[in-house]
Amino acid sequence: MPELHGNTSGLSPSATRTLEHVYRRKVPLDRLATPELVRSLVEASKLAGRQVGALVHRSGQVDYVVVGDAQKLVLPDIGRLRASEGRLRGLRLIHTHLFGEPLTKDDLVDLVRMRLDLVAALQLSPEGEVRAISYAHNVPAPRAGEPPYRVVGPLGPTQLDLDVGALTASLEAEFARQAGARIVTGKDGRAILVHVGEKSSREAARDLIEERMRELSELARTAGLDVVDTIVQLRDHIDPRLVLGRGKLDDVLLRAAELDAQTIVFDRNLSPSQASAIAKHTDLKVIDRTQLILDIFAQRAESRDGKLQVELAQLKYSLPRLAQKDDALSRLTGGIGGRGPGETKLEIGRRRAKERVTHLEKQLRTLAKQRQQRRRRRTRLAVPVVSIIGYTNAGKSTLLNTLTDSAVLAEDKLFATLDTRSRRLRFPEEREVVLTDTVGFIRDLPPDLFSAFRATFEEAADADLLLHVVDAADPAHPQHIETTDKLVAELELGAIPRLLVLNKADRVSPAEGATLIERHPEALLVSATNRETTRALLDRIAAMLAERWKASELVPTYDDEPDEPVADDDEPAPDDGSQDQTTLAEMMAGRRRKKPKGGA
């Protein structure tokens, strides 16, 4: 039996038979529709009292017959687009409008979102006769301010001689030409950023929204996306299903088609059900802020430790979303032990993901023990540790390079540093410290990512001094300071002495610099790219560590003291790639103090 799609409940037998007969109609490619198809759709629409439509393939076969309600038609899932760029769907929609209205916004959204060859509306009179016909098709590379479609009509009820084949061939050729000529600056395509907030929220202020979108844009740029537009919506309440509401989502999809964007990035964390509901409305890639940060971490992780932490965070993020995957995952497995009810592919995927999480957590515990051993080794060497902390892209790595003449990777991007790096910094009187660069903080750091990287953040737990580096030229630096202070408190590092370093002094005016120092009298204003401006910082570090150095002179250090073994949990200890940390004791071996004479 031919299948009817959509709102089929309550149809009379005669309406059902008439709709089923629509499948028998053939429509040549050089015609918009045939009089027979038009009569069948109009008759079925009058019998059902609803909009009805047919999705016609280029071969002339009617692939789907769809039933809606009096106002709209909801198309079924017709599969994903063909892989070749520039191709249309190969289907055109012919459907009725009961009240004689022209093409609606829903029709145009379906046309653009599903890349249909064409959408045509049969505009009926109150007597149920075709009064006019309107149709629309996609437009390649529309001009600025113009929609990504063209509407034609209304036409006379008998004007059905449109050569659809020639029209779609010319459109696809132009789409392909535009795709070949398009220059994409981001390696992963073009993206639209979307912010949805509540009007009553504290963050509904314009300046805070602008700051959030600027940061999201920087995250997208770091991830390799080319941001082509930003959309902001303030609502009384966040839509629990689609976040921004059906109408606004349709506007976003039309805008994406107009700008040829392939990705929509939300400035919030989407629940599994929200991500699934939005994905059902579009073939575009839909990601949230957490996914964007996870992708950046995955791109930039270099050491084994960092890669394991990123994979663990990704798995924890994905686990609750596995249930939202395609229904094809629910097919039963076969073979011995798999017959009968068995485990579905979805259940197997979840179980394997959980097993992988357990395995990764075990490996990370081993690496954490290795880091702990290295910290104990430094303690025996009586070398003070200074950890550089702060918001991402504040200039921490650049400051490390300037102070220690190092060549650690430093880029004007978010999260350029994911692996802890340590370097020696020598002071007069044969004194030295270990300067450690750490992972940058960010507002609303994803919980799974924070949990996975907690052990790395805790590298600062054994520090004798924390250098809190702040980008003084960033208008949002007060919020950055607040975010860092909050995370430091969460890591229970509040008892460690802290020095506020206002970086990028070369980008602020003298008046702004004076205001900053007045606001933070204990801080130092420096430029990490100018060694001369860091002299006062070195003096302050030396003054704050004077007591630590003095105390260390009373503590004996023995060259023959053995290192404590690290339990490997029956696995070989993996190399975490942190060469600077691993070889630190060797670098300082020649500078150890001799055993004191005459006892302790």
Residues near 340 by beta carbon (within 8 Å), at least 6 away in sequence:
none
Cα→Cα distances 297→279, 338, 371, Å: 24, 38, 21
Residues near 542 by beta carbon (within 8 Å), at least 6 away in sequence:
427, 431
519: helix, strand or coil? helix
Residue 206 class from Cβ within 10 Å (0-12 exposed, 13-18 middle, 19+ buried)? exposed
- Of residues 580, 313, 311, 293, the one with CA closest to residue 413: 293
Tens of each residue's pLDDT in the chain, 600 residues: 678 998 888 899 999 999 999 999 999 999 999 999 999 999 999 999 999 999 999 999 999 999 999 888 888 877 665 545 568 889 999 999 999 999 998 899 888 888 899 999 999 998 889 999 999 999 887 776 778 889 998 999 888 889 999 999 998 888 877 765 554 445 557 899 999 988 877 666 777 888 889 989 988 988 888 899 999 998 888 889 889 888 888 888 888 877 878 899 999 888 888 888 888 787 788 888 888 888 888 887 777 777 888 888 888 888 887 755 544 333 334 433 333 344 455 566 777 888 888 888 888 888 778 777 766 766 666 678 889 988 988 888 889 888 888 777 666 667 766 667 788 888 877 788 888 888 788 887 777 777 766 666 666 777 888 999 999 998 888 889 998 898 888 888 888 899 999 999 889 888 998 999 999 999 999 998 888 889 999 999 988 888 777 665 544 443 433 333 333 333 333 444 333 433 333 333 333 344 444 443
- Of residues 8, 159, 154, the one with CA closest to residue 73: 8
Q: Using alpha carbons only, what angle is made at residue 332 by residues 330 and 335, rounded to the nearest 5 degrees?
A: 155
Residues near 546 by beta carbon (within 8 Å), at least 6 away in sequence:
none
Q: What per-residue confidence (pLDDT) applies to 591? A: 39
Q: Using alpha carbons only, what angle is made at residue 20 by residues 18 and 22, rounded to the nearest 5 degrees?
A: 75
- Of residues 518, 519, 515, 537, the one with CA closest to residue 528: 537
User: What does the CA dihedral 573, 575, 579, 585 come to, rounded to 10 degrees?
Assistant: 10
212-249 burial: b if 16+ Cβ within 10 Å, else e: bbebbbbbbbbbebbbbebbbbeeeebbeebbbeeebb
3-state secondary structure 368-395: HHHHHHHHHHHHHCCCCEEEEEEECCCC
189: helix, strand or coil? coil
Pull the structure tokens for residue 507: 């980008």
Q: How many CB atoms lie within 10 A of CB 311?
A: 19
- Of residues 447, 405, 450, the one with CA closest to residue 424: 405
- Of residues 287, 263, 289, the one with CA closest to residue 414: 289
Beta bridge partners of 467: 388, 499
Tell me the C-alpha distance between 162 and 30, whole Å: 6
- Of residues 418, 438, 408, the one with CA closest to residue 311: 418
3-state secondary structure 99-117: CCCCCCHHHHHHHHHCCCC
Residues near 357 by beta carbon (within 8 Å), at least 6 away in sequence:
312, 315, 316, 319
Query: Are 113 and 281 spatial neighbours (Cβ–Cβ below 8 Å)?
Result: yes
18: helix, strand or coil? helix
Domains within the chain, CATH numbers bracketed: 4-181 (no CATH), 190-296 (3.40.50.11060), 363-591 (3.40.50.300)
Task: Tell the residue number behind the tokens 């979840």, with chain if given.
Answer: 350
Q: What per-residue confidence (pLDDT) applies to 130? A: 92
Tell me the C-alpha distance between 4 and 110, whole Å: 19
Q: Using alpha carbons only, what angle is made at residue 284 by residues 209 and 106, rounded to the nearest 5 degrees?
A: 90
Report the run of H or E that residue 60 belongs to, with start and end: none
Q: What per-residue confidence (pLDDT) applies to 80? A: 61
Which stretches does DSSP call E strand in 41-189?
52-57, 62-67, 91-97, 118-124, 130-138, 149-155
Pull the structure tokens for residue 184: 């994409």
Q: What per-residue confidence (pLDDT) applies to 121? A: 94
Q: What per-residue confidence (pLDDT) applies to 202? A: 66
Pull the structure tokens for residue 271: 């629940």
Amino acid (1-letter code) at residue 113: R
Q: What per-residue confidence (pLDDT) applies to 23? A: 93
Q: What per-residue confidence (pLDDT) applies to 413? A: 63
Helix spans in 89-163 (H): 105-113
3-state secondary structure 194-213: EEEEECCCHHHCHHHHHHHH
Query: Are 108 and 81 spatial neighbours (Cβ–Cβ below 8 Å)?
Result: no
Q: What strand order describes the sheet that includes 4-6?
A: 4-6, 62-67, 52-57, 91-97, 118-124, 130-138, 149-155
Tell me the C-alpha distance between 161 and 120, whole Å: 13
